[in-house]
Structure 1
Amino acid sequence: MSDQSAAVEADVIVVGAGPAGSATATYLARSGLDVALLEKSQFPREKVCGDGLTPRATRQLIKLGIDTSTQAGWLHNRGLRIYGGKQQPFHLDWPELADFPSYGLVRPRADFDDLLARNAVASGAKLYELANVTAPILDDRSDRIVGVTTKDGRIFRAPMVVAADGNSSRLSLAMGLSTRDDRPMGVAVRTYYTSPRTDDDYLESWLELWDGEPGQSNLLPGYGWIFGMGDGTSNVGLGILNTSSAFGKTDYRDLLRRWLANTPEEWGFRDANMTMPIRGAALPMGFNRQPHYTRGLVLVGDAGGMVNPFNGEGIAYAMESADVAAEAIAEAHYRGAGTAGAERALRAYPVRMKQSLGGYYTLGRIFVKLIARPEIMRICTTYGLPRRSLMRFTLKLLANLHDSTDGDASDKVINTLSRIAPAA
């Protein structure tokens, strides 16, 4: 173990330099705080993700000052193409709203995370790569976290620590915060194929996965996606929820291949065109780890189970939680770390997150229980997809894209439902 005198001192330690951690570090550094951003690996590094971003995530990138233009290397998308209930797909453009831009984005996750981490450094945060955090440092008197140690023996100390270390969040576990069994959990697998569909300007969602002719074969559990990457490849994957009877009992890689074997051969989704192995990751949903603040530790992103239960989107909510958390942490810092006033500021963070997303995530928990029943999913796709007005409402609901004020009737319905639902 390194000598105590060699410890790095900071105002805030952020553990994990994914979207949640890098966004938190960026906002804190811009507020004038000394931020140590710790990443266990080295950039650029790979993460399992769909690579497709909705307008909700696009808004967060704009807030971070990221240039999202095509000239800056981003592939724009116009909306969602939905397969389900019939052979011909259904196209829905992203809604025109005051609160969100009308375009989504695609970017490889390895490049995306590197860009956000460098943005944090440009804002003033100090990035420490290959800093694999192994344990918290606790104050003997208060039992509060006051720092962390790394696998190579380094010590980092700060009066406030942010856990942005993903779904497994070893730091949260070490602080006694386990995941909740009454919250949805998903598993996703994905890979890349060389494909002529690489320049697709729609994100594609498959609500029904068949292992043969649609409607004449076995309906597989889960949902699928296809995102053109604009570089000659497509990101293709599927997800399954723990509300499905097949969860934990399925070979997901084989499931992906069985679904894709039924897609047109000219699309290229065959093993011979695969550019990397099929990889999987967990999707922690609906605030599945709480509280989001305790004893000096703030949870953001996947560490706090921020993934949207409706659509499996996590990056937008990782960056949103970072924004709210950073505001509370900066307020606490300037009130005087360790004071009663600072503690009140930090405790406001989970309250604000529940006010913002708690009711909506409760609706999402109901939704995932319903779609786990194949007969309900079949009814929804058969009778819902042909009705464009209903599908526009469904898109707004599932993607959480609606105006908070002065919206149309569908916006008001979603806002009302989210407000009256008990917070997750």
Structure 2
Amino acid sequence: MPTQTLPSRTDVLVVGAGPAGSAAATWSARHGLDVLLLDAATYPRDKTCGDGLTPRAVGELLRLGLGDWLRAHTVNIGLRAHGFGQTLLLPWPGGSLPNWGSAVARTELDNHLRSLAVKSGATAVDGARVVDVRRGAAGAVTGVVVERVAEHGGTERFEVACERLVVADGVRSPVGKLLGREWHRDTVYGVAGRSYVTSTRADDPWISSHLELRDESGEVLSGYGWVFPLGGDEVNLGAGTLATAKRPADVAIRPLMKLYADEQREAFGLGDELRMPASALLPMGGAVSHVSGPNWVLVGDAAGCVNPLNGEGIDYGLETGRFAADLLAEGPADLTERWRALLVEHYGEAFSVARRLAGLVTVPGLLPRLGPIGMRSRLGMTLALRWMGNLVDDEDRDLAARAWRAAGRLSAARDARPPFS
């Protein structure tokens, strides 16, 4: 069990014990740093998510040494894409990334990752909410103010000093806001909801995505629905739409999920009850500014690291947590520009073109015209799976990877507000 004693100081303080924070804590501890991992929730806790683990996320979990644990859960071999009268089976492409994916409920996944951080040497304290930061010279963080429930009732506050701070407190990022983080909604963002439901196809080796998502009036929405098998007798069923400040989402997510479940009940042998429905707004594609300071960085969802084309964020959370730990292990240095430049290097071009393409989907009438054309091309959809699924790795040099990077460079050169700026 993680200790609940709150130390007075630490080398690295990580706020948020989701995938990004736990990865940052694990890798930092493995680098030999003194690490304190705080979270406002009491673990295990739920997190609104589709629970899907793409091959890119699987690759990061393998790096962490969790291959055997992950394979004990459901394994999927690719995407079953439905829409506009077509159904395509699109295997995961493999290459420099694993050729398999998985799905693990976030209640279990996040708790396991947090436990891994503790086993790696980090000190974890839950039920500890960071409510303020202390700043020193040139904006460096010298410590945080933590609020906890006292044993006798009420709340009590403590101050914890730190040399460096990693902010991994999710899409709303209250600590990021204290540090000046801003979310810009002029580029595309997501509005998504998920639920759990029994299914006779909970061991299906394919994850399913319905690209022709319609509302009660039959109008095609700029979004998609999904059914992700979790093994046993349950699936994660959800729906999401895309929006921008100019074209906000005008849809109620929970009724949309129910409508979607009713439509898919027979095909997937779904039960009647949608358990634990929950929804969230998703900043996407690095649409945030002020992601770092002299000795602090934002990682994962807090930094807007969510794929605009599929809503995936677990892989970016795990990656950015590792990147942050590697940077911190290099020793004291001003992180303000180094961290932003690192995010731009790894994700800037891909995020730019992805959010541009996702933004096009929000244009009224465009998806109903282009969707049937796209679904008729297996080659086109195979490429789309690779690009939309964030399955172009830095090591890939094939034609599809080069084309994606070229599109990213062209897109980034035309951005009024580039990612992470």
Displacement, 1:380?
Answer: 2.8
1:388 aligns with 2:388: no
Instruction: State how far apart, in whole Å, the 1-side matches of 2:352 and 2:119 are.
Output: 38
Report the CA distance between 1:346 and its aligned residue: 5.8
State yes or no: 1:159 paired with 2:159: no
Q: What are the Cα deviations for residues 1-29 of structure 1, in whole angstroms up to 9, with x where unaligned?
A: xxxxx862110100000000000011111
State how 1:346-385 maps to structure 2 within 5 Å. Answer: 347-385=337-375
Deviation readout 1:100-125 (Å, 9 max, x if unpaired): 01001111110000111111111111
- 2:365 maps to amino acid: E
Contact 2:307 2:354 (8 Å CA) reproduced = yes
Distance 1:59 1:346, change over 3 A: farther
Does 1:45 pair with 2:49? no
| Match among 112, 123, 131 for residue 109 of structure 2 | 112
Q: Which runs of 5+ in 2 are unaligned?
A: 1-5, 149-156, 413-417
Contact 2:186 2:245 in 1 (8 A): no
Cα 1:244–1:132 change in 2 (3 A) is: closer
- Alpha-carbon deviations, 1:262-312, whole Å to 9, x = none? 224363445x333x2311122121112223211422100011100011111
Secondary structure (helix, strand or coil) at the match of 1:11 reads strand
- Within 1, Cα distance between the matches of 2:193 and 2:231? 21
Alignment of 1:173-322 (within 5 A): 173-211=177-215, 217-243=218-244, 247-265=248-266, 267-269=268-270, 272-274=272-274, 276-322=275-321
C-alpha distance in 1 between matches for 2:278 and 2:328: 35
1:136-174: per-residue Cα shift (whole Å, max 9, x none)?
Answer: 1222x4432111111131221112111100111111111
Deviation at 1:245, TM superposition (A): 7.6
Contact 2:187 2:244 in 1 (8 A): no
Matching of residues 18-37 of structure 1 within 5 Å: 18-37=18-37
Cα distance change of structure 1 residues 266 and 383 upon mapping to structure 2, 3 Å threshold? closer
Instruction: Determine the C-alpha separation between the residues in 2 that align with 1:397 and 1:168.
Output: 27
* Cα RMSD, aligned residues only: 2.1
Local SS of the residue matching 2:13: strand
Aligned-partner Cα distance in 2 for 1:58–1:245:
36
CA distance in 1, matches of 2:364, 2:134: 48
Taking every aligned residue pair, what percent have the same amino acid on both sides? 35
Structure 2 length normalisation: TM-score? 0.90
Q: Which runs of 5+ in 1 are unaligned?
A: 1-5
**Separation (CA, whole Å) in 2 of partners of 1:402 and 1:303:** 23
Q: Distance in 1 between the 2:264 and 2:224 partners?
A: 14
Q: Following the alignment from structure 2 to structure 1, what is the Cα–Cα distance between the partners of residues 132 and 360? A: 40
Deviations 1:212-262 (A, max 9, x none): 7xxx94334421100111021111001111239874532211111122222
- Number of equivalences: 401
Deviates more, 1:276-285 or 1:194-203: 276-285
Q: After TM superposition, give the deviation of residue 69 of structure 1 in Å.
A: 5.4
CA distance in 1, matches of 2:344, 2:183: 17
CA distance in 2, matches of 1:406, 1:170: 36
1:162 & 1:311 partners in 2: Cα distance? 26
TM-score if structure 1 supplies the norm length?
0.89
Q: Where in structure 2 are the equivalents of 1:387-406 lying within 5 Å?
A: 387-405=377-395
What is the CA deviation profile of residues 80-114 of structure 1, one whole-angstrom value per residue up to 9, with x for unaligned ones? 0111111x4211000030x2010011111100001
- Structure 2 CA distance for partners of 1:405 and 1:129, relative to 1, 3 Å: closer
Q: Which residue does the alignment assign to 2:415?
A: none
